[in-house]
Chains A and B, each alone.
Chain A
C-alpha cells in the first residue's frame, strides 16, 4: 500500500540551532499516529514543516505521491492536509456557527470565481451544521467564539480544519488547556468524528494515557529526531522513551481499548 504521507531526511535549522534532523516517516492511509516528546524536541517543527508554516532546510515531503516540500500553507490545505492549533485559532468576534460557515464557505470555494458567490448559501450552512453535529457542539451554536469554554474552542478549531474534507489531519496538542477529567471525553468526540471521516491523523500529545488509548502508532521525538517508532505498547515500553520522555510509571489497565 502506498503511504499517504512520505517524509524523507527532513531537516530544519535556524542558524546554529538544529530543530529537526533526519526525519524519515511513511504514513499509511487512515492510521492514527501519536507524536510524543518533550518541549523543544522537534514535534511542532515537524508539524509546521508538513503544513507549510516552515520551509525545511533539507529533505522532502510527499503527499499522495505529490511533492509538497516548501509549499505555502494555503496550498497544502487545498491539497488535503489540515491542522489544528495548540492555542485554538478561531474568529473571536463571530459566533460558533459563523466560524463554521466561514470555514465551510472557503472549503466550497474551490476556485477564484467562487469567492464572489454569496457567503450564506444553503450548501454552506448545511455543511456547517453537519460539522457542528459531528463534533457535538450544537449547544454553543450562537455563542461568540471569544466566550466559548476552552474545550469547545478546541473542538471548533478542529471542526474548522475538518470541514473541508481533508485526507490528513494534524492535531497540535488537542487536549492542552483541558482539565484531566475532560481530556478523554474530548478525545472520544474528536476521534470518533475523525474515524467516521476516514482521516489519517497525527496528533501531538503529552498525556501518555491518551496516546496509549487512541494511537495505532507512536512517533517519539527527542532532540530533533525520532528515537522510537511503533505501536504504543512497544514504543512506550522502549527504554530510551521511558528515560527521556514518558517516565517509568506503569500505565493504567484501560490502556488501548
Chain B
C-alpha cells in the first residue's frame, strides 16, 4: 500500500462517516456517482494502454440486467450476491469478446466495442419479456437478509465500500508489471512485443478487469435506482462514461471518483436550474476540459504534489 492508497482510504472513511449528516439528495447523487466511477476506473485502465472503448455500456447493462433478472426470476435479494453476479456475468462476457476485441486498436477498437454494446441494446429493446424500452423494476435489495429503514445510507456505504476495495486493487494492479506496461504499450506496442510480452493477452486481461468493474457498477446502479432499461446499453451511456474518463485523466485512481462526482453535480445542477441547456453545459465542460485541462483533473492534483513517476 502506498501513501496515495492510505490517503484514498481515509477519504472513503471520511465520506462514510459524514454521510448521515448530509442532505438526502446529495447522498443519493454521490451513490450513483461512485457506482458509475467504477466503470470509469475500468476505462482508465484501458486508456493508459492507449485504448478507449466506446461500448462499456455493454458490461454496465449486463451487470444491471443480471441483477434485475436474479431479483425477479430467481428471488435473489441479497446485495452481496448481486454484486458478485454482476461482476461474474460482465466478466464472462468481457472474457469471451476479449478474444476478438483484444486484436484491435485505435478507432477500430472503439467501433467494434460500440457495435457490441449496440447489439445488446438491440436485443434488449426488442425483447418483450424484458419490458422492451421501458425496462422493468428491480426490487430493493437486502443486506444478508436484513432490510431496514436506512436503505439509502446502507446503499451508500455499500457502494463506498465496494469502491474502496476496487480502488485499492486497481492501485495495486497498476504498480505490477502487467498494469504498468500499459504506458509502454501505448508508447510503442511493437517494442513491448519484442521484449517478449504478448500484448494482445495483456489487453485481454485489461478488458476483463474493466468489464468486471463496469458490471459491478451496473449492478450497483440497478440496486440504487431500482430500475433497469435498455438505455443502460445505449451509446450515449458509453459516451457519458468516456466523458467522465477524460475529465478524470489517466494519471490516478482517485481521479475516477472525483471526476464522477463533479460530473453528477454539474449534471444535476444543470438539469435542475437550467433545464433547457444541460447538454450545452455538459458539452461545454467537456470541450473546455479537453482544451485547457487535457490531462484531466488528476493532473491538476498532481501539480500540487510531487510528480508521480510514470512507471
The size class of the interface chain B forms with chain A is 20 to 34
List B contacts of A90 (CB < 8 A): 188, 191
* A69, CB-defined interface residue at 8 Å: no
Which residue of B has the minimal Cβ distance to A89? B191
Chain B 193-219 residues near chain A, CB threshold 8 A: 193-198
Complex Cα distance, B178 from A98, in Å, reads: 15
Of the residues A73, A92, A116, A120, contact of B194 by C-beta under 8 Å: A73
B311 x A89 contact (CB < 8 A): no
**CA–CA, A100 and B173, complex, Å:** 20
Q: Which residue of B lies closest to A116 (CB)?
A: B176
Q: Chain A interface (Cβ within 8 Å of chain B)?
A: 51, 73-74, 77-78, 82-83, 89-95, 98, 101-103, 105-107, 109, 114-120, 160-161, 164
Name the one of B195, B198, B309, B311 contacting A107, with C-beta atoms under 8 angstroms.
B195
The binding surface of chain B is classed by DSSP as: helix
Find out whether the CB atom of B196 lies under 8 angstroms from the CB atom of A115: no
**A-side contacts of B128, CB under 8 Å:** none
Binding site for A on B (CB under 8 A): 173, 175-178, 180-181, 183-184, 186-188, 190-198, 309-311
Q: Report B190 CB to chain A, min CB distance, Å.
A: 6
Tell me if A94 and B194 are in contact (CB < 8 A): no
Q: Closest 10 A-B residue pairs measured CB to CB? A: A91-B187, A77-B196, A119-B180, A115-B178, A89-B191, A106-B195, A78-B196, A116-B176, A91-B184, A98-B311
Q: Are B310 and A120 in contact (CB under 8 A)?
A: no
Of the candidates A73, A78, A91, A116, which one forms a contact with B177 in the assembled complex, judged by CB atoms under 8 Å apart?
Answer: A116
Q: List 26 A-B contacts (CB under 8 A).
A: A77-B195, A83-B194, A89-B188, A89-B190, A91-B187, A91-B188, A93-B186, A93-B187, A94-B183, A94-B311, A101-B311, A102-B184, A102-B195, A106-B177, A106-B195, A107-B196, A109-B177, A116-B176, A116-B177, A117-B176, A119-B180, A119-B311, A120-B175, A120-B311, A164-B195, A164-B196
